[in-house]
């Protein structure tokens, strides 16, 4: 089974990215042939600063390795190191109905937030379909917000197969219910676009300040607190042991503990959860050349797979040598 996922180097890693995409991907690397990549071509739809993009790619590579991506098990590469993905994207775009892309939420959301409505932003799901199909992927671990892009990918694969004969298998999304949508500081989906993120590698003081800033209601200390949609509780569940989670749940239900104290417990839980990752991150940073070696090795392996698939594609559509 081939497992594939990508993440854009367009900002600093937050709890939503980690629990929605990274942790499931890392756990799945034991269960098949995993391919994980840094989607720098996708990031070009929003980042137009060469130095910033390069820095983001490096930082994300370090973070992904620190979180447990094991290059001995998973192929880890940069999207732009597999240039055939843009060729496949073009081929796919010739069978992709405009209406399919016009229905995509992410384009509508991003332009509504003021991003320029570029062709790249519009065609983004086609490039994502190419990422997935060029690796013959079976399973794609992502957060819920990417579900529609997986549906588009399947639609495009079906259309290609109908038009040119069986070229592609149909990939399945893997979306975990419990972490499908990690809430941010304000209770909305955690996202760098909403300015409500908690960065997993933030320095201690910054992290504490962020967590103390989680929006809460005005329930008095002594009263029971609403548990439904409580950000503190929902985030704590992700990092705490079942017993610790239960005791925070009891504190909510029984009253007598103020939000300030509950936030302190949450901070401690998050800080502790990521402690081993911080240690690993320092080790990776100290090993100069490690990231370059891993990405170069990954690029070679990813190109082997994509070369095979592209041979099939070119033959089926009638381009390239016979
Ligand atoms: P952002 O919304 O901050 O821009 P991205 O769109 O770059 O995040 O998401 C990268 C990956 O992290 C995707 O697989 C996405 O589904 C996942 N992800 C992002 N935010 C969340 C969240 N709040 N809950 C669950 N998964 C998330
Ligand atoms: N669009 C994804 C995101 O914003 C990133 C991505 C690009 C991706 N190509 C992919 C995810 C292929 C899974 C598979 O998070």
Q: Kindly report, residue by residue over 34-47, the tens digit of the pLDDT.
A: 999 999 999 999 99
Q: State residue 179's pLDDT score.
A: 81
Query: Which is nearest to 193 in space by CA: 152, 234, 145?
Result: 145
Evaluate: CB of 196 within 6 angstroms of ligand 1. no
Q: Kindly report, residue by residue over 243-257, the tens digit of the pLDDT.
A: 999 999 999 999 999
Quote the CATH superfamily of domain 202-273.
Tyrosyl-Transfer RNA Synthetase (1.10.240.10)
Give the architecture (CATH level 2) of 2-181+288-317.
3-Layer(aba) Sandwich (3.40)
**Quick check: 322 pLDDT over 80?**
no
Q: State residue 321's pLDDT score.
A: 83
**Quick check: 151 pLDDT over 90?**
yes
Q: Does residue 2 sit in helix, strand or coil?
A: strand
Clarify whether 189 is annotated catalytic.
yes
Q: Ligand 1 centroid to 182 CA: how many Å?
A: 9
CA distance 190 to 182: 6
Q: How confident is the model at residue 277 (pLDDT cuts 50, 70, 90)?
A: very high
Q: State residue 249's pLDDT score.
A: 97
Q: Kindly report, residue by residue over 107-128, the tens digit of the pLDDT.
A: 999 999 888 999 999 999 999 9
Q: Ligand 1 centroid to 75 CA: how many Å?
A: 21
Supply 36's token pair.
Answer: 């994980």
Clarify whether 192 is annotated catalytic.
yes
Q: Which of 110, 210, 225, 263 is catalytic?
A: 110
Three-point CA angle 104, 172, 309, nearest 5°: 95
CA distance 233 to 249: 7
CA distance 293 to 39: 18
Q: State residue 177's pLDDT score.
A: 87
CA distance 8 to 41: 8
Q: What's the chain's average pLDDT? A: 96
Q: State residue 180's pLDDT score.
A: 81
Evaluate: CB of 193 within 6 angstroms of ligand 1. yes
CA distance 234 to 195: 19
DSSP string across 69-94: --TTTEEEEEGGG-THHHHHHHHHHT
Contacts of 40 (CB under 8 A, 6+ apart): 8, 9, 53, 57, 78, 79, 80
User: Are the CB atoms for 40 and 190 separated by under 8 Å?
Assistant: no
CA distance 34 to 19: 18
Whole-number percent of the chain with pLDDT over 70: 100
Q: Is the dihedral of CA 316, 318, 319, 321 positive or negative?
A: positive
CA distance 239 to 178: 12
Q: State residue 193's pLDDT score.
A: 84
For the chain, the structural domain boundaries read: 2-181+288-317, 202-273
User: How many angstroms from the chain centroid is the CA of residue 1?
Assistant: 20
| Helix, strand counts (H, E) of the chain | 15, 5
Evaluate: CB of 43 within 6 angstroms of ligand 2. no
User: Are the CB atoms for 135 and 4 separated by under 8 Å?
Assistant: yes
pTM: 0.94
User: How many angstroms from the chain centroid is the CA of residue 48?
Assistant: 20
Q: Ligand 2 centroid to 88 CA: how many Å?
A: 16
Tell which one of 4, 18, 20, 105 to mutate to probe ligand 1, the residue whose CB is within 8 A of the most ligand atoms.
20
Query: Which is nearest to 105 in space by CA: 155, 156, 150, 45?
Result: 150
Q: Kindly report, residue by residue over 278-305, the tens digit of the pLDDT.
A: 999 999 999 999 999 999 999 999 999 9
Q: State residue 42's pLDDT score.
A: 97
């Amino acid at each position: 089974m081939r497992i594939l996922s990508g993440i854009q180097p367009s900002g600093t890693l937050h709890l939503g990215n980690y629990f929605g995409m990274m942790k499931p991907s890392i756990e799945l690397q034991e269960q098949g042939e995993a391919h994980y990549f840094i989607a720098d071509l996708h990031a070009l739809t929003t980042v137009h600063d060469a130095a910033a993009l390069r820095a983001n790619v490096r930082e994300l590579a370090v973070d992904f390795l620190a979180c447990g991506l094991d290059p001995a098990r998973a192929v880890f590469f940069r999207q732009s190191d597999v240039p055939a993905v843009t060729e496949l994207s073009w081929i796919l775009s010739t069978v992709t109905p405009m209406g399919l892309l016009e229905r995509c939420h992410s384009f509508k959301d991003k332009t509504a937030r003021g991003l320029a409505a570029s062709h790249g932003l519009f065609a983004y799901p086609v490039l994502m379909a190419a990422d997935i199909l060029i690796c013959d992927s079976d399973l794609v671990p992502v957060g819920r917000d990417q579900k529609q892009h997986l549906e588009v990918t399947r639609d495009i694969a079906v259309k290609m197969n109908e038009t040119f004969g069986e070229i592609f298998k149909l990939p399945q999304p893997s979306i975990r219910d419990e972490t499908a949508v990690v809430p941010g500081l304000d209770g909305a989906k955690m996202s760098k676009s909403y300015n409500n993120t908690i960065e997993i590698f933030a320095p201690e003081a910054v992290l504490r300040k962020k967590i103390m800033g989680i929006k809460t209601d005005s329930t008095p200390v002594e009263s029971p607190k609403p548990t439904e949609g409580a950000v503190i509780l929902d985030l704590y569940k992700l990092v705490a042991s079942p017993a610790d989670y239960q005791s925070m749940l009891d504190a909510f239900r029984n009253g007598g503990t103020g939000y300030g104290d509950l936030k302190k417990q949450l901070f401690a839980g998050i800080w502790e959860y990521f402690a081993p990752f911080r240690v690993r991150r320092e080790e990776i940073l100290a090993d100069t050349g490690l990231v370059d070696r891993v990405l170069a090795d990954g690029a070679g392996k990813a190109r082997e797979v994509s070369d095979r698939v592209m041979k099939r594609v070119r033959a089926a559509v009638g381009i390239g040598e016979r």
